[in-house]
Amino acid sequence: MIRLTNHNRIKRILISANTFLKSNFHQKTQYQFIKNFNCNNQTQLKKDRGFLTPVKLRSFSTMKSVEEGVAELNLRNQDNTEELIVAAIAAGTLNPLNEDGTEKSRNQLKNELKKSAKLEKFNAKQSKVKVAVVTENSGASKMKTLDKKSEIDEALLKVAPGEKKPMDAPMADSYNPKAVEACWYSWWEKQKFFSPDYVTTEEEREKFVMVVPPPNVTGSLHLGHTLTAAVEDSLSRWHRMKGHEVLYIPGSDHASIATQAVVEKRIKKERGLTKHDMGREAFLAEVWKWRDTYGDRIYDQFRRMGSSVDWDRVCFTLDPKAVTSVNEAFCRLFDDGLIFRATC
């Protein structure tokens, strides 16, 4: 590819290309050699063995003459930036002054105009994605979203939580993961499929016990948690298929230092207060609110991933049972001389 930037040079090339085409091709198979001139007075033409490679047209009637090509070049070479800037200032979409009251330079106004044009184009694309098609049905307007994959069958929405998903409905035309995955997990959970006591037998079965590494309640689960949960769930389901007695325990970690830092930053940002301004009890109440919000979100994410955990044994590291166990363990270790309290 060659790039031409000089106006007069482009004219000379157009004339030489036109002479070349007329001398080498029949009129009925003329070629178009003027194409895609932009406002920066630049164009790109293919070069093949020293000659400009033109684009073939169906008939001579669509062939552009040299005069038409030059006229088009002159038209596209016109810079209407000043007119656009004046129109934008008049419409109130462009501010000609800086924050300190000084006038903005032409380059500043030109750059801001380009940014606003790009933003307007982006918003137009976003609105097209969300647009809804209105269709007339028996005289009433009916809204239909363009993205059919996001629609869930109305029959699934009528299924109560914990009830089995109806399988007598006709199969959908395309795969919809939301519709396919809907209702199943709540039914599994209600049927106690993930409990080690689900299968009762007199024979002694091999046991497989695994605890979810408790994620911190500082936020939501990320891709690393997803990978770990997928591997652990595969192992637990595999042992169930082998007839083993499986206990897969879920839970979450309070992560006191990290959670305290996150809550402190949020309170400082939203209210302008510190934990000392609030007091101990009020601050602890805010921390527990954070835990209820993000702890429940984490458990919901485990359910959406299909983790086959026993929710009857879910544990939080600050539950009374867990706190009592930790205190007892540390007291025994201290009494046996295995740990000591440092002073520095």
pLDDT, tens only, 29-48: 444 444 443 344 344 444 44
Of 18 and 89, more confident: 89
Of 132 and 66, more confident: 66
Give the CA distances from residue 281 to residues 186, 259, 275, 278, 285, in Å, rounded to whole numbers and listed in that order.
37, 16, 10, 8, 6
Please give the torsion angle defined by the CA atoms of residues 334, 336, 338 and 339, in that order, rounded to the nearest 10 degrees.
10
Please give the torsion angle defined by the CA atoms of residues 228, 229, 233 and 236, in that order, rounded to the nearest 10 degrees.
60
DSSP 25: S
Decide: residue 89, CB within 10 A, 0-12 exposed, 13-18 middle, 19+ buried.
middle
Give the tens place of pLDDT for each residue, 301-323.
999 999 999 999 999 988 999 99
Superfamily the domain 192-335 falls into: HUPs (3.40.50.620)
The answer to whether 57 touches 11, Cβ cutoff 8 Å, is no
With a cut of 80, say whether residue 334 has pLDDT above it: yes
Tell whether the torsion through CA atoms of 227, 230, 235 and 236 is positive or negative: positive
Which helix H or strand E contains 319, and what residues bound it?
none
Give the integer Cα–Cα distance in Å for 108 and 98: 10
What pLDDT shows up at residue 144?
47
Using DSSP's 3-state secondary structure scheme, residue 242 falls into coil
Give the tens place of pLDDT for each residue, 152-205.
555 666 778 888 888 877 777 888 888 888 889 999 999 999 998 887 777 888
The answer to whether 25 touches 63, Cβ cutoff 8 Å, is no
Amino acid letter, 206: E
**Pairing state between β 51-52 and 43-45:** unpaired
Q: Which two tokens stand for residue 121?
A: 């184009």
Decide: residue 246, CB within 10 A, 0-12 exposed, 13-18 middle, 19+ buried.
buried
The answer to whether 38 touches 76, Cβ cutoff 8 Å, is yes
The residues pairing with 3 across neighbouring beta strands, listed in sequence order, are 44
With a cut of 80, say whether residue 271 has pLDDT above it: yes
Give the integer Cα–Cα distance in Å for 257 and 168: 52
The answer to whether 3 touches 9, Cβ cutoff 8 Å, is no
With a cut of 80, say whether residue 327 has pLDDT above it: yes
Decide: residue 248, CB within 10 A, 0-12 exposed, 13-18 middle, 19+ buried.
buried
Give the tens place of pLDDT for each residue, 203-216.
888 999 999 999 98
Contacts by residues 285-294 (CB-CB < 8 Å, ≥ 24 positions apart):
287/259, 287/260, 287/263, 290/217, 290/259, 290/262, 290/263, 290/266, 291/217, 291/254, 291/259, 291/316, 294/217, 294/218, 294/219, 294/220
Predicted confidence band of residue 109 (pLDDT cuts 50, 70, 90): confident
What pLDDT shows up at residue 189?
92
Give the integer Cα–Cα distance in Å for 32 and 52: 11
DSSP 312: G
What pLDDT shows up at residue 73?
56
**Number of CB atoms found within 10 A of residue 188's CB:** 16
